[in-house]
C-alpha cells in the first residue's frame, strides 16, 4: 500500500512498495525498475496507457510478471516485443537482462512517444523503439526472440510474430489461463507458419509465488512459412537497391 509519506516523496498515489523479488530480479537496475513503475503510475495513467485501477498491482501483475520472462532468454539474444504498448513485457525484460538487445515495436504514436521518453530517462542503451505494425516489418526486423502480451489471439499473433524470427528462433507469448486452449486452437496455423515445437512453460514461481504462463513456440528453418520467406527476400533485394529503413519511411494515416 502507498503511504502518505511515499506520496509526499513523489511516489505516485496508490503505487505499492516494490516487493523483495524486484531487487532480486533487477539487481543493479532496481532503481531504474522503480522509476519505470513510477512513470507507468503517473504519465502512463495520465496518458491513458495504463488503467488507474492497475496502479496498486503494477509491480505484481505487470512489471514482475513480465520480468520473469527473462528466465527463458539465451545470453546476448536479440528480441522484438510486438505490440509493446507502455513497454510490457519489453522494458522489464530489458532492465532485468542488459545483455539482451530489445526492440519495442508499437504502431501508435502516443505509445512510442512514451516509450522513447522512458528509454531516454532510464538510459536504456539496449533498447530501440520502432513505430509500426508487425506485418509491415517482415524483412526489416529479424530477431531470435519475439515476445508479446495481450496483443492478439495466438494464431493471429503467430502470423505477425513468426515472420520476424530468424531460423530456429522462438516466440514467447504471455497468455495466462488461456494458454493451453489457445495452443490447441492454433496447431494448424503454427505448423503452416513454420513452427516445429510448442509448449506452455510456467516461469517465476519461486520468485513470485505464482507462475507466469508463457506459450513458447519454436520455429524451424523457415519461420513464417513460404510467404514470409518470399517477402524477406524481396525486402532484402529492396534494401540492397537502397530502400530506406521502416522508421524513415512515411507511414500514412494512423490512429494516435
Ligand atoms: C492491449 S495492448 C497491450 C500492450 C502491452 N503488450 C501490455 O501487455 O500492456 C495491445 C498493443 O498491441 C498493439 N498492436 C495492435 N496491433 C498490432 C500489430 N499488428 N503490430 C504491432 N502492434 C500491434 C496496440 O497498439 C497496443 O499497444
Superfamily in which the 68-242 domain is placed by CATH? Vaccinia Virus protein VP39 (3.40.50.150)
Please work out whether the CB of residue 217 comes within 6 Å of at least one atom of ligand 1. Answer: no
pLDDT (tens digit, 9 = 90+) per residue, 27-62? Answer: 999 999 999 999 999 999 999 999 999 999 999 999
Binding residues for S-adenosyl-L-methionine: 83, 88, 134-135, 149
175 CA distance to ligand 1 middle (Å): 14
Mutate to test the pocket of ligand 1, among 57, 151, 161 (most ligand atoms within 8 A of CB): 151
pTM for this model (two decimals): 0.90
Cell readout for 20 is 523483495
**Would you say 221 and 188 are in contact if contact means Cβ atoms under 8 Å apart?**
no
Strand-pair category, 212-219 with 195-203: antiparallel
Judged on CB neighbours under 10 Å (0-12, 13-18, 19+), 181 is: exposed
pLDDT (tens digit, 9 = 90+) per residue, 133-171? Answer: 999 999 999 999 999 999 999 999 999 999 999 999 999
- Long-range contact pairs involving 8-14 (C-beta distance under 8 Å, separation at least 24): 10/38, 11/38, 12/38, 12/41, 12/42, 12/45, 12/55, 13/55, 14/41, 14/52, 14/55, 14/56
State the ipTM, two decimals: 0.99
Amino acid at each position: 500500500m502507498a503511504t502518505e509519506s511515499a506520496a509526499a516523496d513523489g511516489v505516485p498515489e496508490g503505487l505499492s512498495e516494490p516487493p523483495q523479488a524486484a531487487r532480486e530480479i533487477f539487481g543493479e537496475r532496481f532503481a531504474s525498475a522503480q522509476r519505470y513503475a513510477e512513470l507507468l503510475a503517473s504519465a502512463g495513467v495520465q496518458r491513458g496507457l495504463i488503467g488507474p485501477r492497475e496502479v496498486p498491482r503494477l509491480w505484481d501483475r505487470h512489471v514482475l510478471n513480465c520480468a520473469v520472462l527473462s528466465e527463458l532468454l539465451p545470453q546476448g539474444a536479440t528480441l522484438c516485443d510486438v505490440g509493446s504498448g507502455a513497454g510490457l513485457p519489453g522494458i522489464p525484460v530489458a532492465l532485468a537482462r542488459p545483455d539482451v538487445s530489445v526492440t519495442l515495436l508499437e504502431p501508435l504514436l502516443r505509445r512510442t512517444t512514451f516509450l522513447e521518453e522512458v528509454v531516454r530517462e532510464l538510459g536504456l542503451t539496449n533498447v530501440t523503439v520502432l513505430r509500426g505494425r508487425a506485418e509491415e516489418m517482415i524483412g526489416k526486423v529479424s530477431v531470435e526472440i519475439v515476445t508479446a502480451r495481450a496483443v492478439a489471439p495466438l494464431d493471429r499473433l503467430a502470423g505477425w510474430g513468426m515472420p520476424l524470427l530468424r531460423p530456429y528462433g522462438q516466440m514467447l507469448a504471455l497468455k495466462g489461463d488461456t494458454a493451453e486452449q489457445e495452443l490447441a486452437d492454433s496447431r494448424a496455423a503454427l505448423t503452416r507458419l513454420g513452427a516445429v515445437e510448442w509448449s506452455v512453460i510456467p516461469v517465476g514461481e519461486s520468485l513470485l509465488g505464482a507462475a507466469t504462463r508463457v506459450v513458447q513456440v519454436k520455429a524451424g528453418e523457415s519461420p513464417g512459412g513460404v510467404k514470409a520467406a518470399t517477402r524477406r527476400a524481396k525486402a532484402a533485394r529492396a534494401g540492397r537497391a537502397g530502400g530506406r529503413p521502416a522508421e524513415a519511411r512515411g507511414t500514412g494515416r494512423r490512429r494516435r
